[in-house]
Structure 1
Amino acid sequence: MIGLLITVYAGLEHAFEADHLLAVNNLVTNRTKIKDALKDGMFWGVGHTATIFIVGVIMIGFKISISENVFSYLEAVVGLMLIVLGIIRLFKLLYKKRHSHTYYHSHEHTHSNGVTHTHMHAHTYFHSHPIASFKHAHYDGSTNYKTAFGVGLVHGLAGSGSLVILVISQMKTPLEGLLYILIFGVGSIIGMFIASGLFSIPFTKSILKSQKLQYALIILSSAICIIFGFKIIYTNLL
């Protein structure tokens, strides 16, 4: 039981590595609902676990060794992915700002005591679709979670080498090694589930109502994502 908890904790801790957090943080800036962000984290974890398990089957089950240099190149791919994620997020933000207009309207109502009140309402008009429609001031991203799953897959490729080698050196049988990887994966799913929920809080409708501050946070997270991506590429290729 203690060994199981330690393995889950190891996976949870692995999910909180900087490149993982930056990628998922960049993804959840598209969300205005915590439940959608939580699903992003879950799909990232499933993709990450799937890749590590497949690599584990290849290296443990079929006893095929993969050169350490290959995993260095895959780490560089993670860096490139972070750069692309950051750039795409910035373009989405720019596109949203250029293709939206806010309209205001007011209406009055009179109370029984004769006092009249005027209420102002703001609506944002988006041109991002052929059939434009009125939406309230907060815009939610697509509910498609394929991106989060794909990001998890790539992260799993990059980090699987050292984990599988560790498992090979510690576990007595192939089945035991693959079971360890699955339990580790469960821990990483839980970890990213928690992280994505926490990161999404500033972008929910009810918490942070300043659109300018939200934009600033998106720009900051995207910039850090891009810079860290270049750092990873430099570390692994140069």
Structure 2
Amino acid sequence: MEASLPLFFAAVIGFGHAFEADHLVAVGSIVSKRDRLLLAIKDGIYWGLGHTSTIFLIGLVMIIGQATFLNDYFGYFEAGVGLMLILLGLYRLYKYRHHKAELDHLIDGHDHHHLAYGVGLIHGLAGSGAMVLLVMTEVKGSFNSLLYLLIFGLGSIAGMLVAAGIFSLPFSKKLSGKRGLKLALIMTSSILCIGYGLYIMSENLI
């Protein structure tokens, strides 16, 4: 194993990776519908699980199967993430437009996290190629390479757990009286999703 990229630092790098802008705007929009910290944290965990699932799967294909043909498609994968962000933002704006008079309809108190997991799956496509290629270059052996990706994934789960918890605080029941603030944050997070999604698509398709 190269000393420049020890497995020891994989989790730290993964933790920092969770705080990339496209990840934060998406999860910020998702947790804006939560009024309980625990549910938001679970959203962060499920996002991380989805993100890790995709990166590890692509890693298996590229490291074990030596499938370098995927390199030609990563730009489209990135654009797909941009489209997902746009749709996520539009969905939240739709909910805002039709239920802003009744804040309770904008809050989801159910313990299901399929949206967060699905968003994480798609997010794993963005940048996964560069990550896998870096690991293949710097880490010796297929086993160590896949182990690095798993540890990296655990770090990203921990990072998004923290980020989701922080983002959920303005929507907590303790701030239930701050209706105007909650609505403003929902709209802001939705617009950020759309704007950043458009930026990602333009960077990868134009």
Structures share a fold, TM > 0.5? yes
Aligned length: 202
1:116-155 superposed matches below 5 A:
139-155=107-123
1:41 alignment partner in structure 2: 44
1:163-178 superposed matches below 5 A:
163-178=131-146
Q: CA deviation at 1:198?
A: 0.3
- Residue type matched to 2:25 in 1? L
Segments of structure 2 that go 5 or more residues without pairing to the other structure are none
2:85 corresponds, among 82, 87, 91, to 82
Segments of structure 1 that go 5 or more residues without pairing to the other structure are 101-123, 129-137
CA distance in 1, matches of 2:148, 2:6: 10
SS at match of 1:66: helix
CA contact (8 A) 2:26 2:193 kept: yes
1:13-162 superposed matches below 5 A:
13-97=16-100, 100=102, 139-162=107-130
CA distance in 2, matches of 1:66, 1:18: 28
Summarize deviations over 1:64-98 as a string: whole Å, max 9, x none: 11343300000000000000000001111222235
Q: CA deviation at 1:60?
A: 0.3
SS at match of 1:31: coil
Is it true that 1:225 corresponds to 2:193 in the alignment? yes
Q: CA deviation at 1:187?
A: 0.3
1:191 corresponds, among 150, 156, 159, to 159
Summarize deviations over 1:143-196 as a string: whole Å, max 9, x none: 320000000000111221000000110111101100000000000000000000
SS at match of 1:157: coil
SS at match of 2:173: coil
Q: CA deviation at 1:214?
A: 0.7
Is it true that 1:211 corresponds to 2:179 in the alignment? yes
CA distance in 2, matches of 1:80, 1:20: 13
Which deviates the most, 203-212 or 13-22? 203-212
Summarize deviations over 1:17-66 as a string: whole Å, max 9, x none: 00000000000000000000000000000000011000001000111113
- Residue type matched to 2:75 in 1? S
CA contact (8 A) 2:100 2:183 kept: no
Summarize deviations over 1:111-163 as a string: whole Å, max 9, x none: xxxxxxxxxxxxx8x7x7xxxxxxxxx94344320000000000111221000
- Residue type matched to 2:20 in 1? E
Of all paired residues, the percent bearing the same amino acid is: 47
CA distance in 2, matches of 1:139, 1:212: 14
Greater fraction helix: 2
Over the aligned positions, Cα root-mean-square deviation in angstroms equals: 1.8
